[in-house]
Copies of this chain bind each other. A is one copy, B any other.
């Protein structure tokens, strides 16, 4: 259905609106472009958005990161873009006490439904499931040498957590939880090797997988049933008491539980936190993957330095991909590379296309945000590079972003601190200069899994899930002047114990590639900040130079020399 057809349908049914999300039944960011209903209906391709279609108009709710992009992509006569607003507040303001809202219960979490119901007592929800046809894909094992812990041990950990909640079963609905628990991966998505399946875990019979269109390896030790059989299996387990993660479980599952009177208890998906705490094998893998990824990025930066005539953004994307795929254990990129020149870089999640592809102009900035999936780790790095001679303002703003980056990367903090506080440690440096950025400061990163993973998150709204030892997060403050240029400095870091203070944590940097010194105004940095940059660059040179050609090595030596 297109927007006009949905509107007619709403009028016929006498509904006030239809709520449309961009995700499928796996709720996360694990959606193929062709499955993204919001893209199909409005043209908006951003990774965060909810669409409300009413009889008259549609309204796209997204966040500040996508403000410019949404304005570029949607037809304003058909769809109004609303940034950083609460959907429920808006519904409350725009409808009378009673609202009839149609939705797909497989594409909205239980939490979202409960919150809407709580805030909008007059809300009536009408379920209408859209069939999501998944594409065929292959599943393969993630070897123990890379994942470090076998499924049996992982199941025991998960079941122990369930027992603490007096539960004996759970339905894992998040694709990364299922992939982590089963040590399986798949090629269903171009950048994220998750297995898009759901898993029933019972303390008596173990794992049963539910999936459509996936071909599992012959030695897969678990029964695999079609998704359509899930309801029957859940009903059969009704007396076991299920732990239900309301935030990660589609509302349709709640409806199944209610229909069959399955006993449930609210609890976070136990795999999420267990997966975020990397084991020793994963940590070593992540360190190793960053060494190889850093080598690819340094080779690319050296190449760029010597070959930046007549290039376009898409050439950058291609060349960087070439360098990465030469590295051992490379599997795929971890997300579509962002390479933005000048004004394009001010679009926070810009990806160059044939239509937008810009040449590498002189005297501006090139922002490159990219990453790789290696069998033993996932990477994500952003570097902002000067093309020609950068303007004074560019250097000034880059240096302020760098100060913010250093403030967090070098921070020390107690064990129970939520992500919002660490976000503030970084962001408040920008505020001092009257600056800010409309995106989070960092996100969790999986190990040969999602490049954005929870539950840890460094954003202004992240009040739960404190960081723990051996979690991996990004540190990526930025600054963007619309229609002019964009700056972001991103490293991945791992959380480690502070050896001098037992109750405190700090970061150890994983990412290895130089920061463009041509963009650093040394006189805006404190002595401690200069020392941080010099130490980091020494480390980059020490670790990366052995894998480079002589030409590359001498470029890196200069790039990493003291400020």
Contact = CB atoms under 8 A, between A and B. Distances in A.
A330 interface: no
Contacts of A500: 434
Interface residues of A, number: 30
Contact of A413 (B413, B414, B428): B428
Contact of A420 (B265, B413, B428, B463): B463
Contacts of A504: 431, 434
A428 B414 contact: no
Interface in A245-266: 265-266
A20 to B, nearest CB: 27
A424 interface: yes
A417 B412 CA distance: 22
Contacts of A463: 420, 463
A425 interface: yes
A418 interface: yes
Contact of A436 (B414, B421, B436): B414
A460 interface: yes
Nearest to A84: B416
Contacts of A13: none
Contacts of A118: 266
A121 B265 contact: yes
A418 B463 CA distance: 11
Contact of A414 (B166, B265, B420, B431): B431
Interface string A88-129: 000000000100000000000000000000100100000000
Interface in A428-476: 428, 431-432, 434, 436, 460, 463
Interface of A: 97, 118, 121, 166, 265-266, 411-414, 417-418, 420-425, 428, 431-432, 434, 436, 460, 463, 498, 500-501, 504, 526
10 contacts: A411-B428, A412-B431, A413-B431, A414-B436, A418-B460, A420-B424, A421-B424, A422-B424, A434-B498, A434-B504
